[in-house]
Structure 1
């Protein structure tokens, strides 16, 4: 078994398992991709220990906390995560700053006989690594930005590109949001900003910089999340490929892709209220009435004609520097076969 050594975030792939020793709430906020959560202290225990520290001092907090840590470590050692691991298992453990929580777990693991190591600086060092990776990797990527009016099935084209072995950065999947006013995923909360950036960094790390990377043209915000500024700037300067579909094809696609909006008509009407300042009270009230009636064909047709389409070309020209020299892929319809054909056409453009 090798001696304990400080492990850098970029060396984490050399280990069999990455274990996050922080509490469940910390893990949920963000964590190293692929990490397993084995809390040394859960959220309530952390609260108790913190209260003792402030009210009675470090010794009492450590005495009580030490008993909790010992009990939790015993439970983890008997759990499926560790119980059947071979002697050559190499886990990497981290906590918030690479301190007592991960240190105690590593110590017990090494007593068992595993070559456990501790991530130097803990999650904080990994977080710095994420920010650095985005800053360093983004300028080197060969970005191709897929653009198109609302309802052009850009996300489906990206999925078809992925199936064909192309490199794709799906920002909407990372953000759990479609990017538009009505783009919230039903029943799926967005991740934290940190977790969003972690997902982006992980995707960039897996990319081959000598090959194109396809991404959908997004605004700087997707739902409540902000796209990292270096990526925004790189997207603005990248080559654009426009998916061009007829209004009829786009409306048919939207009615399928957003059909779930009719499941909660009142919630849809409330979201449309955000457009009153831009579209006027009378227009939005009509849209809200259609939403409450479930008249999605009428609603989506007017949203396209009066809201999305009038701003589309102007906003694209403003935000994408290569808009004037964009290349286009024409699609007559947006069924599965048509989307596959569009992906093939995108790849043919190089």
Structure 2
């Protein structure tokens, strides 16, 4: 392996997607990490807690000594083998801990003793996180955003995914944005979402100039918040509006929330997937019960239950058209029209998905 030097060139790390192994404890990693990072901790959560308590009670050297006792023998060998394997598979990678201090330096030295000279990131996670926070603000300030807006079911995400200079906010959030948008896989942490967003915008800044397209979103995508600096810029950004007929919008909702989501549940739960999917959709409907009103909620709930029962018996998804059309017309459309009135941005173009794509790519 060629010898490389430690680095504080965070921009290059993120632009190249350099592989990184994270020495922090699992709980630290779960709170926030980077897309190209792999959790390979020096200490477990319990071990780290013991060392932290020792540090407070007896000082740094006692804590260091305890750490070496906890990570010794077979435990040390197992972890060292995992670090060596990561280094073998990723000769262009780096390691880091929280501040680029004892944990990463210890692992670096242990690897060096094994003949593996593997570089670390100076400043560690804390410095890289600070860099991404600052760069997110810089990227938002520099960017010319155009929002892709439109009523629920117009296929705004399909437009976004057809554009080169875009950031798929719902893709980064692993959520489809609506009350029914939760996917079977969990959403990332807030910090992970912000880190991925900052990196995506940073990469676009290094490419040719031009507008960046974002889907028109509210404050939240599932449980994740859009950063305030981005929300402020989006509130006044110009927009293109996707327009599709109600029938076409129902088709999109069936494709996304019935067919695709159903396949995801079946892949995870097998024969029980259909029931899990149906229960999830009813639970989502329950969350907007107050805003729907009791009578409308009962009507939609009954239509949804009948549609899932028909689908289970025959595979026919057509029964879903009734409740979806009702929700679009009676609930989502009035809400969209109100939200559109609050936007300060200029409408640059309106049309169906193919027309919007053509307009967006022409310039």
- TM bracket, shorter-chain basis: 0.7 to 0.9
Query: Taking structure 1 as reference, are residues 24 and 150 closer, same or farther at Cα in structure 2, changes over 3 Å only?
Result: same
Q: Is the aligned partner of 1:204 residue 2:201?
A: yes
User: Does 2:81 align with 1:78?
Assistant: yes
Among 152, 155, 172, the residue aligned to 1:174: 172
Superposition deviation, residue 343 in structure 1: 2.5
Distance in structure 1 (CA, Å) of the matches to 2:215 and 2:105:
42
**Alignment correspondent of 2:293:** 280
Distance in 1 (alpha carbons) for counterparts of 2:138 and 2:189 = 22
Where structure 1 has 5 or more consecutive residues not aligned to the other structure, the ranges are 332-338
Helix, strand or coil at the partner of 1:7? coil
Maintained 8 Å contact 2:147/2:215: yes
CA spacing shift, 1:17–1:153, aligned 2, 3 Å: closer
SS in 2 for 1:189: coil
SS at match of 1:347: helix
Give 3-state SS (helix, strand or coil) of 1:328's partner: strand
Q: How does 1:6-21 map to 2 (within 5 A)?
A: 7-12=8-13, 17-21=19-23
Per-residue deviation, 1:155: 0.8
Give unmatched runs, 5+ long, in structure 2: 263-273, 309-318
Alpha-carbon RMSD across the aligned residues, in angstroms, is 3.0
Q: Could you tell me which residue of structure 1 aligns to residue 357 of structure 2?
A: 343
In structure 2, the residue matched to 1:291 is 304
- The alignment partner of 2:253 has SS state of helix
Specify the alignment match of 2:351 in structure 1: 329
Cα distance in structure 2, aligned partners of 1:9 and 1:77: 26
- The separation in 1 between residues aligned to 2:4 and 2:283, in whole angstroms, is 60
**Alignment map for 1:152-231 (pairs within 5 Å):** 152-161=154-163, 166-185=164-183, 187-207=184-204, 208=207, 210-231=209-230
TM-score (norm 2): 0.81
Which protein has the bigger helix share? 2
* 1:199-246 Cα shifts (integer Å, max 9, x gaps): 101101110361222111111111111111111122222221111101
**CA distance, structure 2, for counterparts of residue 327 and residue 34 of structure 1:** 37
1:300 to 1:98, Cα distance in 2 relative to 1, 3 A: same
1:67-112 superposed Cα distances (whole Å, 9 cap, x missing partner): 33355554344347548749x9564321122221112112233444
Q: Give yes or no for contact 1:40–1:101 (8 Å, CA) kept in 2.
A: yes
Instruction: Tell whether 2:298 aligns with 1:300.
Output: no
CA distance in structure 2 between the partners assigned to 1:151 and 1:55 by the alignment: 59
Offset at residue 287 of structure 1 (A): 1.6
1:27-75 per-position Cα deviation (integer Å, ceiling 9, x unaligned): 2332123123221112232234345556776555433321333555543
Q: Is the 8 A contact 2:34 2:196 kept in 1?
A: no
1:187-208 deviation digits (Å, cap 9, x = unpaired): 2111111000001011011103
Structure 1 window deviating more from structure 2 (47-56 vs 234-243): it is 47-56
Please name the residue that 1:312 is paired with: 336
The residue matched to 1:316 in structure 2 has which SS?
helix
2:102 to 100, 103, 106: 100
Q: CA separation in 1, counterparts of 2:360 and 2:201?
A: 21
Q: Which moved more, 1:287-296 or 1:108-117?
A: 108-117
The structural deviation recorded for 1:329 is: 2.2
Match of 2:69 in 1: 67
1:310, distance to aligned residue in structure 2 (A): 1.3
